[in-house]
Structure 1
């Protein structure tokens, strides 16, 4: 059988996430049906072409299974119920307000705009490494929609899609410096703008400028830490998901770290910013959904 993780990466799906622990492709329940249907056709065609058998469960997820009959569907339904009961009360925390099943929200950062206008006329392409950059840019101009967009990950590409634009390229490596190297050949001899926050945590701009890509930084916003009046006391054995270096700073300003805590880093760049005493695991993919999957399957 073909490696399903590799197949998922090659397809660059935005609205299905491969969960290797449950061996199924989990559908984004919040996406538009017409958009997800196109990916459904793409995914099922690829599975069939590789002679990988599957069926669709009651949640609309594609379950990899050698059999497709009533008993397999019933068995999967029971498995889904048990999985839900087992995980619904776990202390997994996301440090934002995004709702992900099985995770609790502990918002610790906000973004503050620092520009109210921008001229993009002279740029051949735009680079985005966060969905916040897309949101802030769209709030001040529609000019960006006419310029090719290059997104670091599926999460950023999904935000671009929400504004009616399809990303020209979605990164495979999903990490800042590696993403830059993916772009070198694609953007050779072009003038591009890196749209993002005031603080940059990768070497993306330097790498591009050193390799025949003229890249300028347009900082649209800054990240602000929410500081609570009292330190937050989380339960023992909590698992905390960190999606950026800013969330690490904000967390340690507001919460006393316990030795029983475990951390999930969304990617390699974020992982570099943890204190040495923190037990960190890296998610398999740079999405919050993948972070939660990792958290649910950590061994004690």
Structure 2
């Protein structure tokens, strides 16, 4: 059996969704017209804009990590959306530096962020402002028994933390990590496979090959 440890479920009926965390959006106000660029590392940043009724601005360029983030930005109404080739936090920041150097840029970020996107952009001459847009909180999951050889997909370091708060890891389990930061959170107790793309669909393909 494959279990998806993520804030959102998937359409695959053969995948069991484990809800271990919950997103809480921060209340804030921001004038997007004051910036040339917007940097997001999750589709939750776009949901946070929607939550606060902050409309998209077609004059601002959005730099998104991963297809889900880019799609969310486009769907919300942003006209110029750049989907990074690198879907891991630090590499993402280094990739977009040449396009952002000297520009007023807003980073919409989670309350806790493992990668150093902020530091890398600031050190490389980006005129950066940041706004905490959301936080990921651990929830109590229903108790359950897992099959021998179960495969777990982890969509964030917080979901790793949430799993360990609710369940015990066993040596017969296998893990798939959506990115390097998530993999680092897993490596203290297992050796995960890491998806090359920050994409749940890619993680599912890897997981299915482990069964």
Same fold flag (TM > 0.5):
yes
1:198 aligns with 2:108: no
Partner of 1:153: 66
Shift of 1:231: 4.2
**Higher RCO structure (Cα 8 Å, ≥6 apart):** 2
2:191 aligned to 279, 282, 299, which one?
A: 279
Could you say if the C-alpha distance between residues 159 and 174 of structure 1 is closer, same or farther in structure 2, counting changes exceeding 3 Å? same
1:131 aligns with 2:54: no
Aligned partners of 1:199, 1:145: CA distance in 2, in Å?
Answer: 28
Conserved 8 A contact 1:157-1:166: no
Aligned partners of 1:216, 1:249: CA distance in 2, in Å?
Answer: 29
Q: TM-score, normalised by structure 2?
A: 0.91
Conserved 8 A contact 1:100-1:288: no
Conserved 8 A contact 1:189-1:214: yes
With 289-298 and 214-223 compared, the bigger mean Cα shift is at: 214-223
Aligned partners of 2:191, 2:108: CA distance in 1, in Å?
Answer: 32
Aligned residues: 208
Aligned partners of 1:166, 1:93: CA distance in 2, in Å?
Answer: 35
**Greater per-residue strand proportion:** 2
Q: For 1:187-230, what per-residue CA distance to the aligned partner results, in whole angstroms no more than 9, with x for missing partners?
A: 110011111211111111111111111122210111111113x6
Partner of 1:252: 164
Aligned partners of 1:172, 1:243: CA distance in 2, in Å?
Answer: 18
Could you say if the C-alpha distance between residues 239 and 217 of structure 1 is closer, same or farther in structure 2, counting changes exceeding 3 Å? same
1:187 aligns with 2:187: no
Q: For 1:46-71, what per-residue CA distance to the aligned partner results, in whole angstroms no more than 9, with x for missing partners?
A: xxxxxxxxxxxxxxxxxxxxxxxxxx
Could you say if the C-alpha distance between residues 162 and 193 of structure 1 is closer, same or farther in structure 2, counting changes exceeding 3 Å? same
Aligned partners of 1:107, 1:166: CA distance in 2, in Å?
Answer: 33
**Pairing of 1:257-268 with structure 2 (within 5 A):** 257-268=169-180
Shift of 1:177: 0.6
Q: TM-score, normalised by structure 1?
A: 0.65
Aligned partners of 1:143, 1:166: CA distance in 2, in Å?
Answer: 9
Aligned partners of 1:93, 1:200: CA distance in 2, in Å?
Answer: 24
Match of 1:206, SS state, is: helix
Partner of 1:177: 90
CA RMSD of aligned residues (A): 1.7
Task: Please identify runs of 4+ aligned residues in structure 1 that moved more than 4 A.
Answer: 143-146
1:111 aligned to 3, 11, 23, which one?
A: 23
For the pair shown, the structure with the greater C-alpha radius of gyration is 1
Match of 1:104, SS state, is: strand
Could you say if the C-alpha distance between residues 234 and 221 of structure 1 is closer, same or farther in structure 2, counting changes exceeding 3 Å? same
1:209 aligned to 115, 122, 129, which one?
A: 122
